[in-house]
Amino acid sequence: MEENLKVVLFDGVCNLCNGSVQFVLKRDKKGIFKFASLQSDFGQNILTKYGLPTDDYNSFVLVEGDRIFTRSTAALRVTRHLDGLWKFLYSFMIIPAPIRDAVYGIIARNRYRMFGKREACMIPQPEWKARFLD
């Protein structure tokens, strides 16, 4: 994968995940991030390449060049590139990953119940379509 390419992989049927993607799109005016669902061929290929489960969509995944980040680390690494004060959320990286990921895990396990689920992956708005890889 291209060294400077930053790709966010997300659960394409999760309302919370889709909302998070739209949140990033609106605050990533430079177009730093590309997106693909975990369920897509692109997402499945990345998961396989990095030895991650291809049937567990409980993680937000960030691919930066040849490096991969998951869960809270991935989410916080995204925030540092966003416009506005959102980049300051990256300071939560000082909290040990096991603690951050425990909170992340509670939300991830309950996200369908709390936020709902779609029947199919979202269709991006026309102005964002070029930022989706699959």
The per-residue pLDDT for range 61-118, each reduced to its tens digit, is 999 999 999 999 999 999 999 999 999 999 999 999 999 999 999 988 888 788 887 7
pLDDT tens-digit map of 22-38: 999 999 999 999 999 99
pLDDT of residue 120: 60
Nearest CA to 11 out of 129, 108, 131 is that of 108
Strand 6-10 to 33-37 pairing:
parallel
Q: Which two tokens stand for residue 37?
A: 């669902």
pLDDT of residue 125: 74
Confidence of residue 46 (pLDDT cuts 50, 70, 90): very high
